[in-house]
């Protein structure tokens, strides 16, 4: 029961550049979250944006949400080598469950 779908599947950029990842979903949501996963590790929560919010910032992260288009974007500014990871969007699925997309693999080139 996949809800969110990230785009692109993989992204390689030079260190210092900005990275943008997108997430599209199918049904209405209460909130959308972004998580990061370093290789072989668990997921780490980055940011949650509620359906009545349009934009949210956390450090070098900027998340937007467009409920009319059923889409969200995650922007990482001034990328660093440590940002190399997979990034997942997750949407609420009722009953305290969330559904994850398949992720975007981000690789920061030195």
- Interface with another protein (CB under 8 A), residue from 92, 104, 106, 108: 92
Q: For the chain, where are the E strands, in sequence order?
A: 5-7, 10-14, 19-24, 31-37, 43-50, 55-58, 61-66, 71-76, 85-92, 98-100, 104-109
Tokens linked to 100: 């994850």
Nearer to another protein, 70 or 103 (CB): 103
Per-residue contact string for residues 27-66; x = within reach of another protein by CB under 8 A: ---xx-x------xxxxxx--x------------------
Nearer to another protein, 19 or 100 (CB): 100
Q: Is 40 helix (H, G, I), strand (E, B) or coil?
A: coil
Distant-in-sequence, close-in-space partners of 90: CB < 8 Å, separation ≥ 6: 4, 32, 33, 34, 35, 98, 99, 100, 101
Nearer to another protein, 33 or 79 (CB): 33
Nearer to another protein, 26 or 102 (CB): 102
Q: Which residues bind another protein (CB under 8 A)?
A: 1-2, 30-31, 33, 40-45, 48, 88, 90, 92, 95-98, 100-103
């Amino acid at each position: 029961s996949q809800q969110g779908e990230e785009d692109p599947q993989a992204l390689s950029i030079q260190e210092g550049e900005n990275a943008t990842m997108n997430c599209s979903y199918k049904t209405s949501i209460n909130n959308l979250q972004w998580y990061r996963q370093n290789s072989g590790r668990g997921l780490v929560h980055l940011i949650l944006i509620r359906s009545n919010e349009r934009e949210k910032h956390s450090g070098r992260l900027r998340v937007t949400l467009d409920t009319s288009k059923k889409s969200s974007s995650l922007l990482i500014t001034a990328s660093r080598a440590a940002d190399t990871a997979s990034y997942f969007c997750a949407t609420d699925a009722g009953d305290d469950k969330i559904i994850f997309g398949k992720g975007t693999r981000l690789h920061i080139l030195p």
